Amino acid sequence: MNRREAIQRATLLLGGVLSAPLMAGAMGKVLNTGESVAVTADQSALLAEVADIIIPTTGTPGAKAAGVEKFIVRVMRDCYEKPEQEKFYAGLAKLDADSQAKFGKGFAALDVAQKNEMVKQSTVDNKAFFLTMKGLTVTGYFTSEIGATQALEYLPIPGKFEACIPLKPGQKAWAL
């Protein structure tokens, strides 16, 4: 085994370890059978607002339209232990509290520029929360019907397998 092969295998192994809870949630498996944090409607709405800043509506519907907040709540409940859930929702509360302190209103009431500023600030001040939020948002969006059929190229009944297909300029990536 050469160095390149060793690095590739280590990366694959590490990536599998780090994203196991996330992938289990995407596949519908319940890993956490213990207690979970109760999520309020306000927290769910706040998750939708943050997710919509990460993947906004442009030429295609955004994360809010795809219902990503429901995916995030389900994955947190089913795949993360209670202490990890508490850290995540504490990060969400911190984002809202920071918005209140800086602008005098909660995150959901901010305009888009202010929301973008707060999310950028959370990438530094609240990094663990932001990385988890971003990962769950992207996974939830691209595994949703809207993300897979409108943001990606989708062929419901695929033909033969072609390993290498040249993409045209501006063509969407394929949904699997």
Q: What is the pLDDT of residues 63-101, one digit of tens each?
A: 999 999 999 999 999 889 999 999 999 999 999 999 999
Whole-structure pTM value: 0.74
Give residue 47's pLDDT. Answer: 97
- 148/4 Cα distance (integer angstroms): 33
Mean pLDDT of 17-41: 68
In a domain, 85, yes or no: yes
In a domain, 157, yes or no: no
In a domain, 50, yes or no: yes
In a domain, 6, yes or no: no
In a domain, 18, yes or no: no
Position of tokens 């809870």?
A: 21
Domain that holds residue 52: 23-151
In which band, very low, low, confident or very high, does the pLDDT at 136 lie, cut at 50, 70 and 90? Answer: very high
Give residue 162's pLDDT. Answer: 74
Mean pLDDT of 100-104: 96
Tell which wins on pLDDT, 25 or 133: 133
In which band, very low, low, confident or very high, does the pLDDT at 26 lie, cut at 50, 70 and 90? Answer: low
In which band, very low, low, confident or very high, does the pLDDT at 170 lie, cut at 50, 70 and 90? Answer: confident
Residue type, 26: A
In a domain, 122, yes or no: yes
In a domain, 91, yes or no: yes
b/e map of 123-157 (b: 16 or more CB within 10 Å)?
eeebeebbebbbebbbbbbbbbebbbebbeeeeee
* Structural domain count, the chain: 1
In a domain, 49, yes or no: yes
- 72/39 Cα distance (integer angstroms): 11
Q: Is the dihedral of CA 9, 84, 107, 100 positive or negative?
A: negative
Give residue 39's pLDDT. Answer: 92
In which band, very low, low, confident or very high, does the pLDDT at 55 lie, cut at 50, 70 and 90? Answer: very high
